[in-house]
Structure 1
Amino acid sequence: MTLTTRIKLSAMMFLEFFIWGGWFVTLGTFLKSLNATDVQNGVAYATQSWGAIIAPFIIGLIADRFFSAQRVLGVLHLVGGALLWYATTLTNFESFYPVILAYMIVYMPTLALVNSVAFKQMTNPSKEFPPIRVLGTAGWIIAGLTIGWLGWEQSGQLVLTFKMAAGASLLLGILSFTLPDTPPAKKGQKTTIGDIIGLDSIGLLKNRSYLTFFLASVAICIPLAFYYNFTNRFLNEVGMTAAAGKQSLGQASELAFMILMPLFFVRLGVKKMLAIGMLAWVVRYVLFAYGNADTNYYMLIGGIVLHGICYDFFFVTGQIYTDNLAGERFKSAAQGFITLATYGVGMLIGSYISGPIVDNWKIGENAHNWQSIWLIPAGIAAVVLILFITLFRDKKHVETQPDVDAEDAEIVL
């Protein structure tokens, strides 16, 4: 890979996640300016899940068959930038919602496209991809720090986050057309609905332990939605200054634990890694329930920093577990299937559940009984954890032949 290509791919990855982190984290707080209810807040965040559900069809039916990935990426970001800018002109939730839904439908496919463009240029992805992908996390962190540094939350100027993200999206849209060519991978091939959503890997569910993991993954995304949908509003409501900037500590934690994961794998194994990830969710919500901006400020920070364990120990471990269990034949299909189930179905259920629950504990115009609210996702996560520990078996024997029956397949450590 040439230096010019490396710089372009790094800029692509940085902007991709700078855009998302630039408005998504503070969306719940911004919606207060549109007089949106807590239920509508959950509905707005559910657009991410709808985008995740629809994204495979855009990739499978368009990008993989007809057009080069970098061109599709460019068009989607140009359209997305226009939608984000238009969103800044809207003054009520009823008009804002269809725009943000349309935006998430065009944005979510770009997450796969940037990976496709990057991998196409690499001869050794395992070594070349991480230094480029880490720029994406850096983009998310810098977006949060920028919002906190400029004080947009405290000054009620969160509409500027959409303008900032719109500008970055337009920039990435233009940059995309200069990226190395990534021709359609399945040009001329017939693509079925089953191919698109990864139904080829459904046989893995015959394995009782994998079925347990799969159902736990969907279920744990329900309390996860509470974190994404309401944490920024909660932190601002309890008096934390520059909350968006503080929340970027979660991404910093994610990076740190990602580096340490190989060490934990050797010592703990899959079951303990997954269980610790779910336990971290329980602890995080308990810390939020009893934390405040005064004497228990450390609890709020602790709950944010736990993001690294919550995400890496469960989702990254789960991706590795799925990859090893599926074998070469079903790797891509299995990853697509589990992503659709978690970020699509699980998060969608969580978004629609979280809004009414938060609304039920509303106190007055701008306050909530957050202790009662956070104990609910903590309880859900605890139930999922107990069921997982009881039903999941962590097999040690290695069995990775691609044609192995899913009932007999066992995880590689």
Structure 2
Amino acid sequence: MNVKFRLTLMSFMQFFVWAAWLITIANYWFGTKQWAGADFGIIFSTMGIASLFMPTLTGILADKWINAEKLYGILHLLYAVVMFYLPQVNDPHTFFWVILVAMCFYMPTIALSNSISYTTLKNSEFDVVKDFPPIRVWGTIGFIVAMWITNLTGNKASANQFYIAGVSALALGLYSFTLPACKPSKLISDKTTFVQKFGLEAFKLFSDYKMALFFIFSMFLGGALQLTNAYGDVFLDEFKMFPKYADLYVVKRSTLILSISQISETLFILAIPFFLKRFGIKKVMVIAMTAWVLRFGLFAFGNPADGLWMIILSCIVYGMAFDFFNISGSLFVETSTTPKTRSSAQGLFMMMTNGFGAVFGSLVSGWMIDRFFTKAYTNIQATAELVGSQPNDQHLLTFLSNKGINVLANGDLSRAIDVKDWHSIWLSFTIYALIITVLFALMFKHKHTRAEQKAIEAINH
């Protein structure tokens, strides 16, 4: 079988097994399980926690002791086992620990999949720069397809999303053992120090003011990266409380609408060379931060009816927000460090955004939403007034019934319903992103360098 096709299939499945639940888990948490909002924030922090140490540990294993494709397969099989177990968990705190174990198995496979692709392409005498991007883009397509399948099969609030992830991860794990061998490179010698093995040398870069500033801002922006993944789908889904929105296609198929974000991501990748050549690295990073402001702001004022254009535009803007900062930031690190610390510095960049930043954003957002933007309603009259309905409106009664809430004879609810003020939630995220953008533009002093120009020219070619 063609090597590039086999790697393409791996890339497709790599992100399929993640997206089957990543965007829709909030519906399961808030809708099916009825767990507290503050606890939900820690679920998305598990990706950041796992990203702090697992990629480095598995990288050492693959470099010194075990074939990368075999390690990759083992990790996916273990991830599948955890996915199969997850629906049996009925306690939010236990759920956190189980998800954390799943992420410890899954997160390092992202880097391993890239490593396997690079090694296999080189061994087959392909041009990595030319041939890898078309393979990697199928990962994003896999992400989109998984979102669509979960939504179209009616499983965005059910435990079946974890079974979809588990079955596909099981298939990927077994498939991995058929991939071309990627033997250990033995790059890590016995004389390598602990600091060198774990890439901690890069922390010396914090002694440089500009690099320290860049990494700190990367962390704070990283706090925003997972917010729409965590809350975007449940935000659209909760419009079903409102009679004028309840039957709209956008509400019923919210995950499909959000998949525009990933489609946009694939398209904006193609635009990066033009923007970098036209504006330079710093301005592209500022453009990315501004796009995050628009991403949240459009959500704050959008709705599934006359404000649908804002929801769709927010999804389109996401591609610019996500791609432009990740790639321009990576180029800045590449051109601002020495060959000796370059790989460690790139790892530090990912650690600050997807590690510390993700943990910070997940924990703070979960606490903030539960503390300031969630109100418990115990009476049918008050709940009906909130959503502009009548106490006996069928949409409201169906919504309450789906949550397992009954209306008692005196009009009280058998269990309080938590209602989130999504407009204020997204607006607070907007203000947060705006502050970061303004401070970065003012404080980060950077001039276009010759090394950057060469790197940009390499991308253009």
- Superposition TM-score, scaled by structure 2 size: 0.82
Q: Is the 8 A contact 1:35 1:92 kept in 2?
A: no
Tell me, what secondary structure is at the counterpart of 2:184? coil
Give the stretch that moved more between structures: 389-398 or 378-387. Answer: 389-398
- The CA deviation string for residues 236-274 of structure 1, in whole angstroms up to 9 with x for no partner, is 112422111211111110111101111111111111100
User: For residues 307 and 5 of structure 2, what CA distance do their matches in structure 1 show?
Assistant: 43
**Equivalent in the alignment of 2:368:** 357
- The CA deviation string for residues 54-77 of structure 1, in whole angstroms up to 9 with x for no partner, is 213422442222111111111111
Q: CA deviation at 1:207?
A: 4.0
**Equivalent in the alignment of 2:227:** 226
Matched to 2:438, the amino acid is: I
Tell me, what secondary structure is at the counterpart of 1:17? helix
1:141 aligns with 2:144: yes
User: For residues 96 and 271 of structure 1, what CA distance do their matches in structure 2 show?
Assistant: 41
Q: Which has the larger radius of gyration?
A: 2
Kindly report the root-mean-square deviation, in angstroms, between the aligned alpha carbons of the 2 structures.
Answer: 1.9
Are the structure 2 counterparts of residues 272 and 182 from structure 1 closer, same or farther at C-alpha, using a change threshold of 3 Å? same
User: For residues 63 and 253 of structure 2, what CA distance do their matches in structure 1 show?
Assistant: 42
User: For residues 195 and 432 of structure 2, what CA distance do their matches in structure 1 show?
Assistant: 31
1:281 to 292, 295, 315: 292
Q: CA deviation at 1:178?
A: 0.6
TM alignment of 1:9-28, pairs within 5 A = 9-28=7-26
**Equivalent in the alignment of 1:163:** 163
1:201 aligns with 2:202: yes
Q: CA deviation at 1:363?
A: 2.8
**Equivalent in the alignment of 1:406:** none
Q: CA deviation at 1:211?
A: 2.5
Are the structure 2 counterparts of residues 411 and 36 from structure 1 closer, same or farther at C-alpha, using a change threshold of 3 Å? farther
**Equivalent in the alignment of 1:391:** 443
Are the structure 2 counterparts of residues 392 and 411 from structure 1 closer, same or farther at C-alpha, using a change threshold of 3 Å? farther
Q: CA deviation at 1:388?
A: 0.7
Q: CA deviation at 1:96?
A: 2.1
* Identical aligned residues as a percent: 30
Structure 1 unpaired stretches of 5+: 401-409
1:80 aligns with 2:59: no
- The CA deviation string for residues 287-334 of structure 1, in whole angstroms up to 9 with x for no partner, is 111111222121112222211011111111111111122243322111
**Equivalent in the alignment of 1:255:** 266
Tell me, what secondary structure is at the counterpart of 2:337? helix
Q: Is the 8 A contact 1:286 1:375 kept in 2?
A: yes
Point out 4+ residue stretches in structure 1 off by more than 4 angstroms.
410-413
Q: Is the 8 A contact 1:74 1:173 kept in 2?
A: yes
Give the stretch that moved more between structures: 104-113 or 221-230. Answer: 221-230
User: For residues 9 and 335 of structure 2, what CA distance do their matches in structure 1 show?
Assistant: 31
Q: Is the 8 A contact 2:222 2:352 kept in 1?
A: no
Are the structure 2 counterparts of residues 147 and 270 from structure 1 closer, same or farther at C-alpha, using a change threshold of 3 Å? same
User: For residues 455 and 349 of structure 2, what CA distance do their matches in structure 1 show?
Assistant: 18
TM alignment of 1:165-184, pairs within 5 A = 165-184=165-184
**Equivalent in the alignment of 1:265:** 276
User: For residues 137 and 197 of structure 1, what CA distance do their matches in structure 2 show?
Assistant: 29
User: For residues 220 and 188 of structure 1, what CA distance do their matches in structure 2 show?
Assistant: 33
Matched to 2:293, the amino acid is: V
- Number of residue equivalences: 399
Q: CA deviation at 1:87?
A: 0.8
**Equivalent in the alignment of 1:214:** 215
Structure 2 unpaired stretches of 5+: 241-250, 377-416, 457-461
**Equivalent in the alignment of 1:129:** 132
Q: Is the 8 A contact 2:63 2:188 kept in 1?
A: no
Tell me, what secondary structure is at the counterpart of 1:367? strand
Tell me, what secondary structure is at the counterpart of 1:91? coil
- Superposition TM-score, scaled by structure 1 size: 0.92
Tell me, what secondary structure is at the counterpart of 1:16? helix
Q: Is the 8 A contact 1:56 1:197 kept in 2?
A: no
Give the stretch that moved more between structures: 52-61 or 344-353. Answer: 52-61
TM alignment of 1:333-352, pairs within 5 A = 333-352=344-363
